[in-house]
Amino acid sequence: MQKGIHLGLIIDGNRRWAKLHNVDTATGYKAGLDKLVETVNALSGKGVECISVYTFSTENEKRPAEEKAQIMALVDYFIENHPSGVKLDFIGNLDRLPEPLKDKILSYKNEDRQYKILLNIMLGYGARQDILSAALSLNDKARDAFENEMAKGRSYEQALEVSKGVFTEENFSKALSTAKLPPLDLVIRYGKVNRLSNFMLYEASYSELYFVDKLWPDATAKEIENIVDGFKSVNRTYGG
């Protein structure tokens, strides 16, 4: 697949949209799912390589059980009925999910060898938790490196220097759950709030950020296409 843009989507506002339209939350979430399908289809073949969509955050655990069940049911439905030509991937703490959904994700195989876009579904995900997990992983590797050097007869100072070498930006990036994804280029957030809400904080350090003053079900594929097209002309200096 040709390299293209990695787009992060924060699809917020489904519950508020349901309340505003005097419908139940399940209808609001379904409207959000329909909008996601529309967006994926619109961006397919338009220079977008990957979409990472914030589906269920660690903070969403605080929501009522009924609402969480509605979200999980829609994720299950989407896995079975996602658009053709779309490769699915999943990131997050799957232990936070119902066992049937967790098992389905772990056993899921993409049937399409040829695909136009990768859709990365983030479930039980939180950037702070992911960063902490990566730091703990590097700490374990540094301890192992130190102990191995000491076992070889190295001095304490030599072993310590080797263990310090584990803590590099490259190794840290590889320890994140997003390591297999392309660099994050662009984040579009819906929901009428201007914040990242614990979404890919490390990865978004040099991403372009767009905050749209709409609830997610009111998004249009055309406006998202326009934002993506506008991004293509951005001169990214990365602080240089």
Indicate which residues carry an active-site annotation. Answer: 12, 60
Do residues 6 and 52 lie in contact, with contact meaning Cβ atoms separated by under 8 Å?
yes
Measured CA to CA, the distance from residue 147 to residue 237 in angstroms comes to: 41
Diameter of the chain measured on Cα atoms: 72
Q: What are phi and psi of 4, to 5 degrees?
A: -150, -155
DSSP string, 161-180: HHHHTT--HHHHHHHSTTTT
Q: What is the SS3 assignment for 103?
A: helix
Do residues 180 and 6 lie in contact, with contact meaning Cβ atoms separated by under 8 Å?
no
Distances in Å between the Cα of 126 and the Cα atoms of 20, 38, 61, 105, 176 are 28, 26, 11, 18, 11
**Position of tokens 């009924």?**
66
Do residues 200 and 184 lie in contact, with contact meaning Cβ atoms separated by under 8 Å?
yes
Distances in Å between the Cα of 135 and the Cα atoms of 28, 130, 172, 208 are 37, 9, 7, 26
Do residues 123 and 94 lie in contact, with contact meaning Cβ atoms separated by under 8 Å?
yes
